[in-house]
Structure 1
Amino acid sequence: MSRGKLLQIKKRINATQSLKKITKAMEMVSTAQIKKVEKRLLMAREFLKETSEMISQVHFEVKHPFVTGEGKSALVVIGTDMGLCGAFPSELAKKALELDKKENFDLVLVVGAKLAPVFRRNPKVERIYEHEFDVPTFEFSRTVISDLVSANAGRVKVVYGKFKNKLAQVPDIHTLAPIQRREGLVGDRYEYEPNDEAFQIKLLEFYAASVFYALAFETKISELYARQNAMRNATENAEEVVRQLTIAFNKARQASITQELIEIVTGADALKSE
């Protein structure tokens, strides 16, 4: 093999090793982010639990779309703003498109820049939220709920990333409205000011925002674990590629040396015969 071929293989080895350093670094960054987000996810779940306990004690009489289910049907898709997390964003988009095809929603809201190209030309899309947060905030959740209320949405479903374990993050569907309360818990434990209707409307929207907040965190932790797994797999693949290229380089170099030795011996024999 020519020296040019050897240099080519050497360049590929160096490039793959550089790529391995990047994927390893990104894996470590994801691991650090996971530790922070996991704590906040537990807080978001506890916050939702307390809000659910509160709402279970209230007897709702207000004519709100989130209670009656009257109004438009809406689909909210919670995705990711960043890539390099395997097939996670595309699986969320696929789940959302299948659900929309099945139920034919009146309007769609999309969260995440990575889902924007899939839904941008969809005439049902009311709004796409791109790069709104690094870590989910309650303020953003209230913004989404406010947009749904403004659109008169009474039947709302959310497609989000459900975190099952460190190796499994799957798209799932949650019914946000009409709000379903647990049976057997009757309200009227509280006195309301300024009046029942105003309080109940605010509490309904606050509870819906709490649910969305928890789902957004669930999707965020799923995204981080998906990215960690993808980067780990990429690092392992890079190591395997380097190993195979190194073997190929050594074989090629040995073949080149052997060929040179053969040429030297052949030339020496030719001189002796003369």
Structure 2
Amino acid sequence: MPSQRDVRNRIASVQNIRTITRAMEMVAAARLRRAEQRIEALRPYAHALRRLTRQAAEAAGAVPSLPILTPHDSVQRVALLLIAGDRGLAGAFNSQIVRAGVAAGREHEAEGIQTLYFAAGRRPASSLSFRGLEPAAAFTGFSDRPSFVDARRIAERLMAAYVDGEVDRVDVFYNGYISPITQVVRRERILPVHEAAVIAGVGTEHDTLEEALSGEHKPGPKPLVEYEPDPDEILGRLVPDYVEVSIFRALLESTASEHGARMTAMRNASENAAVLIEDLTLEMNRARQAAITQEIMEVVAGAEGLG
């Protein structure tokens, strides 16, 4: 049985850890609120850009013969962008993205399709390297507060890979933010754009909700729009912006999910620490009672020996 001093030292250590986890929980909660505000601020712009791109595509009729819009003849190589965090202590936030991406890569390999990995965040980059799947490019250092410049840098690299024929398709994996305790792994097609939701007309649940709120699909006459210059040229300008905004939105969703996951993980750690402190306190009390009982027995034995 450990001594009272050992148990007391363990209690002090657990109390220090609980202090740290509580502080990390409060920091994550504050950052989560700011991340939620950034998502709310981006949604009107992202929805308007999606709507304009879809309208320009409908006005253009056939998809223009632009490199970024032209689908490749066959799919030989697929790029998978895994978006996660730079730090840990967030439960399964990072690992579930890596597992989903690696599982998708194995499916492609089974079909004879080569997989090229891209990572946004130190955790997915290091996890891929540990598994022997060295990423073609890693973007790190901004998971706590991503900027549009970061999204543009990632989008330019992916669009260049697609236009140059390095890859034939680009999918992105990220944690979609639902609530502080719920994050859902999402997989979205970014390139080729004609297979993405913006032109294919197949939106995600969030797009459907936004369209319902905006009334885009309400019955009735629609306004007549005249394009200057022609819709093909406008679409060529909008599509790169759409890819950049889509990646930026995924980064913001991932950031909010990370803060929510870390806040939940730190709260659970604090609660577990409190339970452990209670158990250790009970163990220390038992050890003290056993020591007192032993001392009493020794006194009584000594008194009987003298008598």
Q: TM-score by structure 2 length?
A: 0.80
Partner of 1:178: 192
Distance 1:186 1:161, change over 3 A: farther
Q: Does 1:149 align with 2:164?
A: no
Q: CA deviation at 1:32?
A: 0.5
Which is further off, 162-171 or 42-51? 162-171
- Residue 56 (1) aligns with residue 65 (2): no
Q: Distance in 2 between matches of 1:145 and 1:187?
A: 32
1:245 aligns with 2:280: yes
Specify which of 224, 245, 270 is matched with residue 210 of structure 1. 245
Q: Residues of 1 paired with 2:280 and 2:189: CA distance?
A: 51
Say which is worse superposed, 9-18 or 211-220, in terms of deviation: 211-220
Query: RMSD value over aligned CA atoms?
Result: 2.3
Matched, 1:45 2:43: yes
Partner of 2:228: 191
> After the TM superposition, which of the residue ranges 8-17 and 58-67 deviates more from structure 2?
58-67
Q: Would you say 1:112 and 2:147 are equivalent positions?
A: no
Mapped partners of 1:208, 1:220: distance in 2: 18
Matched residue of 1:128: which SS?
strand
Structure 1 vs Structure 2: percent identity of aligned residues? 29
Runs (5+) with no aligned partner, structure 2 = 203-216
Contact 1:56/1:186 (8 A) holds in 2: no
1:1-274 mapped onto 2 (5 Å cutoff): 5-59=3-57, 60=60, 61-70=63-72, 73-103=78-108, 104-120=113-129, 121-122=132-133, 125-152=135-162, 153-179=167-193, 180=197, 181=199, 182=201, 189-192=226-229, 199-272=234-307
The alpha carbon displacement at 1:17 in A equals: 0.4
Letter of the structure 2 residue corresponding to residue 168 of structure 1: T
Q: Using the alignment, how far apart are the partners of 1:69 and 1:186 within structure 2?
A: 31
**Alpha-carbon deviation of 1:260?**
0.3
What secondary structure sits across from 2:176 in the alignment?
strand
CA distance, structure 2, for counterparts of residue 186 and residue 117 of structure 1? 51
Q: Which runs of 5+ in 1 are unaligned?
A: none
Match of 1:142, as an amino acid? R
* Contact 2:121-2:143 within 8 A present in 1 as well: no
Report the more deviating stretch, 169-178 or 237-246.
169-178
Cα distance, 1:148 vs structure 2: 1.3
Structure 2 residue identity aligned to 1:119: L
1:91 to partner: Cα distance? 0.7
SS of equivalent to 1:115: helix
Scaled by the length of structure 1, the TM-score of the pair is: 0.89
Q: Quick check: 1:66–1:155 contact (8 Å CA) kept in 2?
A: no
Within 2, Cα distance between the matches of 1:68 and 1:150? 13
